[in-house]
């Protein structure tokens, strides 16, 4: 997808905001892995992952819960923005946004139930919703 869209488009966001959100989404798979590791309550894992701008708490269970919440909020933000854009295409939008797939690459792997034009309109809508959620 082009990183610039006409300002007349109802889902317009600035080029730099789009790139920021694109890089935000690129971390999605890492968040899922970290959250899965933290939910296993492995002591070595809890010490490995840190949440920025959090004070140290002497309770390791609370610390782990805060870290899980931190990553869950971000994962949910991406998933909810995709569902708001289009509930049917949400899983395809998340795959494109988080893995950097193009429509053609995803179409080769999976059967997308729409054409390229519709897909990228929903894709732009997804980033617009994500931008509003990240304010």
Render pLDDT for 17-42 as a digit per residue (tens, 0 to 9). Answer: 999 999 999 999 999 999 988 887 65
Residues spanned by the domain of 90? 15-133
Per-residue pLDDT at 61: 76
Average pLDDT over all residues of the chain: 86
Report in angstroms the alpha-carbon separations of 52 from 1, 55, 56, 77, 128.
32, 9, 11, 18, 26
Residue 8 inside a domain? The answer is no
pTM of the model: 0.81
Residue 111 inside a domain? The answer is yes
Per-residue pLDDT at 46: 54
Range name among 6-10, 78-82, 125-129 with the lowest pLDDT average = 6-10
Residue 88 inside a domain? The answer is yes
**Structural domain total, the chain:** 1
Residue 97 inside a domain? The answer is yes
């Amino acid at each position: 997808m082009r990183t610039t869209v006409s300002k007349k488009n109802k889902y317009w966001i600035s080029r730099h905001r789009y790139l920021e959100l694109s890089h935000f989404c690129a971390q999605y798979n890492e968040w899922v892995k970290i959250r899965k590791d933290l939910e296993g309550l492995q002591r070595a894992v809890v010490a490995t992952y840190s949440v920025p701008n959090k004070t140290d708490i002497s309770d390791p269970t609370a610390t782990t819960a805060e870290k899980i919440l931190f990553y869950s909020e971000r994962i949910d933000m991406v998933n909810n923005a995709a569902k708001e854009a289009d509930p049917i295409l949400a899983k395809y939008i998340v795959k494109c946004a988080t893995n950097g797939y193009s429509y053609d690459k995803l179409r080769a792997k999976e059967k997308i139930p729409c054409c390229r034009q519709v897909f990228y309109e929903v894709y732009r809508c997804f980033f617009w919703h994500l931008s509003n959620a990240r304010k």
